[in-house]
Chains A and B, each alone.
Chain A
Amino acid sequence: EAQVTQNPRYLITVTGKKLTVTCSQNMNHEYMSWYRQDPGLGLRQIYYSMNVEVTDKGDVPEGYKVSRKEKRNFPLILESPSPNQTSLYFCASSPIPGQGSYEQYFGPGTRLTVT
Protein backbone atom coordinates (compact mmCIF):
# COMPACT_ATOMS: atom_id res chain seq x y z
CA GLU A 1 0.00 0.00 0.00
CA ALA A 2 1.32 3.42 -1.01
CA GLN A 3 1.70 5.49 2.10
CA VAL A 4 3.57 8.03 4.17
CA THR A 5 4.32 6.91 7.70
CA GLN A 6 5.32 9.00 10.67
CA ASN A 7 6.57 8.05 14.10
CA PRO A 8 5.73 8.61 16.81
CA ARG A 9 2.07 9.57 16.46
CA TYR A 10 2.00 11.21 19.87
CA LEU A 11 4.86 12.62 21.91
CA ILE A 12 5.05 14.55 25.15
CA THR A 13 8.47 15.89 26.03
CA VAL A 14 10.18 18.58 28.07
CA THR A 15 11.87 21.78 27.02
CA GLY A 16 15.36 21.27 25.68
CA LYS A 17 15.29 17.51 25.19
CA LYS A 18 16.30 16.71 21.62
CA LEU A 19 13.83 14.69 19.61
CA THR A 20 13.39 13.30 16.11
CA VAL A 21 10.16 12.61 14.27
CA THR A 22 10.65 10.12 11.47
CA CYS A 23 8.93 10.19 8.10
CA SER A 24 9.10 7.52 5.43
CA GLN A 25 7.36 7.08 2.07
CA ASN A 26 7.23 4.02 -0.18
CA MET A 27 6.22 5.73 -3.43
CA ASN A 28 9.70 6.68 -4.68
CA HIS A 29 8.75 10.35 -4.53
CA GLU A 30 11.46 12.97 -4.99
CA TYR A 31 9.72 15.73 -3.06
CA MET A 32 9.11 15.59 0.68
CA SER A 33 7.95 18.24 3.10
CA TRP A 34 7.14 18.96 6.74
CA TYR A 35 4.23 21.11 7.91
CA ARG A 36 2.90 22.18 11.24
CA GLN A 37 -0.78 22.77 11.84
CA ASP A 38 -1.97 25.20 14.48
CA PRO A 39 -5.48 26.46 15.25
CA GLY A 40 -6.29 29.59 13.27
CA LEU A 41 -3.04 29.42 11.30
CA GLY A 42 -3.71 26.50 9.02
CA LEU A 43 -0.79 24.55 7.59
CA ARG A 44 2.62 26.16 7.52
CA GLN A 45 5.59 24.63 5.82
CA ILE A 46 8.71 24.05 7.89
CA TYR A 47 11.20 22.52 5.45
CA TYR A 48 11.05 20.74 2.16
CA SER A 49 13.34 18.62 0.03
CA MET A 50 13.37 18.33 -3.74
CA ASN A 51 15.61 15.26 -3.71
CA VAL A 52 18.33 13.46 -1.79
CA GLU A 53 20.76 15.87 -0.13
CA VAL A 54 18.67 18.89 -1.25
CA THR A 55 16.69 20.70 1.45
CA ASP A 56 15.21 24.19 1.70
CA LYS A 57 13.54 26.31 4.32
CA GLY A 58 9.82 26.79 4.26
CA ASP A 59 7.85 29.50 6.01
CA VAL A 60 8.68 28.60 9.63
CA PRO A 61 12.08 26.82 9.79
CA GLU A 62 13.38 28.31 13.05
CA GLY A 63 14.07 25.69 15.69
CA TYR A 64 13.96 22.74 13.29
CA LYS A 65 16.45 20.74 11.26
CA VAL A 66 15.95 18.13 8.57
CA SER A 67 18.09 15.75 6.57
CA ARG A 68 17.56 13.78 3.37
CA LYS A 69 20.17 11.08 3.15
CA GLU A 70 17.87 8.58 1.49
CA LYS A 71 15.04 9.17 -0.92
CA ARG A 72 12.42 7.49 1.25
CA ASN A 73 13.22 9.15 4.59
CA PHE A 74 12.93 12.75 5.75
CA PRO A 75 13.30 13.07 9.53
CA LEU A 76 12.41 16.26 11.41
CA ILE A 77 14.79 17.14 14.24
CA LEU A 78 14.11 19.47 17.13
CA GLU A 79 17.49 20.06 18.77
CA SER A 80 16.10 21.98 21.75
CA PRO A 81 12.31 21.92 21.74
CA SER A 82 10.37 24.78 23.28
CA PRO A 83 6.69 25.07 24.26
CA ASN A 84 5.91 27.15 21.16
CA GLN A 85 6.72 24.06 19.08
CA THR A 86 3.74 22.27 20.57
CA SER A 87 1.76 21.48 17.45
CA LEU A 88 0.44 18.86 15.04
CA TYR A 89 3.08 17.93 12.49
CA PHE A 90 2.54 16.41 9.06
CA CYS A 91 4.98 14.92 6.61
CA ALA A 92 4.06 14.83 2.93
CA SER A 93 5.57 13.57 -0.31
CA SER A 94 4.92 13.91 -4.02
CA PRO A 95 6.51 13.37 -7.42
CA ILE A 96 8.80 16.16 -8.49
CA PRO A 97 6.90 19.46 -8.78
CA GLY A 98 6.60 21.10 -12.15
CA GLN A 99 5.90 17.96 -14.13
CA GLY A 100 2.23 18.61 -14.62
CA SER A 101 -0.05 18.98 -11.67
CA TYR A 102 0.81 16.94 -8.62
CA GLU A 103 -0.80 16.12 -5.33
CA GLN A 104 0.93 15.65 -2.05
CA TYR A 105 0.39 12.52 0.01
CA PHE A 106 0.21 13.16 3.72
CA GLY A 107 1.19 11.11 6.71
CA PRO A 108 -1.23 10.63 9.62
CA GLY A 109 0.35 13.34 11.76
CA THR A 110 2.41 13.57 14.95
CA ARG A 111 0.96 15.44 17.89
CA LEU A 112 3.81 16.96 19.87
CA THR A 113 3.48 18.57 23.28
CA VAL A 114 6.47 20.36 24.81
CA THR A 115 6.14 21.23 28.49
Chain B
Amino acid sequence: GNSVTQMEGPVTLSEEAFLTINCTYTATGYPSLFWYVQYPGEGLQLLLKATKADDKGSNKGFEATYRKETTSFHLEKGSVQVSDSAVYFCALSDRSGNTPLVFGKGTRLSVIA
Protein backbone atom coordinates (compact mmCIF):
# COMPACT_ATOMS: atom_id res chain seq x y z
CA GLY B 1 0.00 0.00 0.00
CA ASN B 2 0.89 3.67 -0.13
CA SER B 3 3.06 5.05 2.65
CA VAL B 4 5.06 8.10 3.63
CA THR B 5 8.19 8.14 5.78
CA GLN B 6 9.56 11.37 7.15
CA MET B 7 12.45 12.12 9.43
CA GLU B 8 11.68 11.97 13.11
CA GLY B 9 11.96 15.04 15.19
CA PRO B 10 12.10 17.10 17.06
CA VAL B 11 14.34 19.37 15.06
CA THR B 12 15.74 22.42 16.83
CA LEU B 13 17.42 25.17 14.82
CA SER B 14 18.65 28.67 15.42
CA GLU B 15 17.04 31.52 13.56
CA GLU B 16 18.37 31.93 10.00
CA ALA B 17 19.63 28.35 9.85
CA PHE B 18 19.00 26.11 6.83
CA LEU B 19 16.20 23.58 7.17
CA THR B 20 15.78 20.19 5.54
CA ILE B 21 13.07 17.73 6.50
CA ASN B 22 13.36 14.47 4.60
CA CYS B 23 10.34 12.70 3.16
CA THR B 24 10.22 9.54 1.07
CA TYR B 25 7.19 7.73 -0.22
CA THR B 26 5.96 4.42 -1.55
CA ALA B 27 3.09 4.48 -3.99
CA THR B 28 1.73 2.83 -7.06
CA GLY B 29 1.44 5.05 -10.07
CA TYR B 30 2.12 8.75 -9.88
CA PRO B 31 0.82 10.31 -6.70
CA SER B 32 0.49 13.97 -5.86
CA LEU B 33 2.69 15.08 -2.96
CA PHE B 34 2.02 17.63 -0.25
CA TRP B 35 3.54 19.30 2.73
CA TYR B 36 1.14 20.42 5.46
CA VAL B 37 1.99 22.57 8.45
CA GLN B 38 0.34 22.61 11.88
CA TYR B 39 1.00 25.66 14.01
CA PRO B 40 0.47 25.32 17.78
CA GLY B 41 -3.19 24.96 18.66
CA GLU B 42 -4.37 24.92 15.07
CA GLY B 43 -5.43 22.47 12.40
CA LEU B 44 -3.34 21.44 9.44
CA GLN B 45 -2.99 23.75 6.49
CA LEU B 46 -1.46 23.14 3.11
CA LEU B 47 2.04 24.55 2.77
CA LEU B 48 2.91 23.43 -0.76
CA LYS B 49 2.27 20.69 -3.26
CA ALA B 50 3.60 19.05 -6.44
CA THR B 51 1.61 16.96 -8.84
CA LYS B 52 4.19 15.39 -11.16
CA ALA B 53 7.83 14.43 -11.35
CA ASP B 54 10.33 17.32 -11.22
CA ASP B 55 7.66 19.78 -10.12
CA LYS B 56 8.79 22.17 -7.43
CA GLY B 57 6.27 23.39 -4.90
CA SER B 58 7.05 26.58 -3.03
CA ASN B 59 5.40 28.86 -0.48
CA LYS B 60 6.53 31.20 2.31
CA GLY B 61 10.19 30.53 1.48
CA PHE B 62 9.75 26.75 1.70
CA GLU B 63 10.46 24.52 -1.29
CA ALA B 64 10.16 20.84 -2.15
CA THR B 65 10.91 19.03 -5.42
CA TYR B 66 9.08 15.89 -6.54
CA ARG B 67 11.87 13.38 -7.25
CA LYS B 68 10.46 10.27 -8.86
CA GLU B 69 13.84 8.55 -9.20
CA THR B 70 14.46 8.70 -5.45
CA THR B 71 10.75 8.73 -4.45
CA SER B 72 11.41 11.77 -2.31
CA PHE B 73 9.87 15.15 -1.55
CA HIS B 74 12.23 16.81 0.92
CA LEU B 75 11.19 20.15 2.46
CA GLU B 76 13.78 22.94 2.54
CA LYS B 77 14.03 26.54 3.66
CA GLY B 78 17.11 28.66 3.41
CA SER B 79 16.63 30.77 6.53
CA VAL B 80 14.12 29.75 9.18
CA GLN B 81 12.36 32.14 11.54
CA VAL B 82 10.92 31.67 15.00
CA SER B 83 7.46 31.85 13.42
CA ASP B 84 8.23 28.68 11.44
CA SER B 85 8.07 26.62 14.63
CA ALA B 86 5.39 24.04 13.93
CA VAL B 87 4.79 20.41 13.06
CA TYR B 88 5.30 19.54 9.39
CA PHE B 89 3.57 16.62 7.68
CA CYS B 90 4.46 15.08 4.35
CA ALA B 91 1.53 13.46 2.53
CA LEU B 92 0.56 11.84 -0.73
CA SER B 93 -2.65 11.29 -2.62
CA ASP B 94 -3.27 8.45 -4.99
CA ARG B 95 -4.88 9.75 -8.17
CA SER B 96 -7.10 6.71 -8.40
CA GLY B 97 -9.57 8.57 -6.27
CA ASN B 98 -10.24 5.70 -3.94
CA THR B 99 -7.34 6.11 -1.58
CA PRO B 100 -7.51 8.75 1.09
CA LEU B 101 -4.65 11.12 1.77
CA VAL B 102 -1.72 9.28 3.42
CA PHE B 103 0.33 11.21 5.98
CA GLY B 104 3.76 10.81 7.46
CA LYS B 105 4.00 10.95 11.25
CA GLY B 106 5.04 14.59 11.36
CA THR B 107 8.25 16.40 12.28
CA ARG B 108 8.23 19.01 15.02
CA LEU B 109 10.43 22.02 14.29
CA SER B 110 11.47 24.47 16.97
CA VAL B 111 13.34 27.62 15.94
CA ILE B 112 15.10 29.56 18.67
CA ALA B 113 16.13 33.19 18.51
Q: Give me the interface of A with B, judged by CB distance under 8 Å.
A: 4, 33, 40-43, 45, 48, 58, 90, 92, 94, 96-104, 106-109
CA distance A102 to B32 in the complex (A): 8
Known: A42-B103, A43-B103, A43-B106. A99 touches B43 (CB 8 A): no
Q: Would you call A96 and B49 a contact (CB within 8 A)?
A: no
B44 within 8 A of A: yes
28 A-B pairs, CB-CB below 8 angstroms? A4-B43, A33-B100, A42-B89, A42-B104, A42-B106, A43-B44, A43-B106, A48-B100, A90-B43, A92-B101, A94-B101, A96-B97, A97-B93, A97-B98, A97-B99, A98-B97, A99-B97, A100-B51, A100-B95, A101-B32, A101-B49, A101-B51, A103-B34, A104-B44, A106-B44, A106-B45, A108-B42, A109-B43
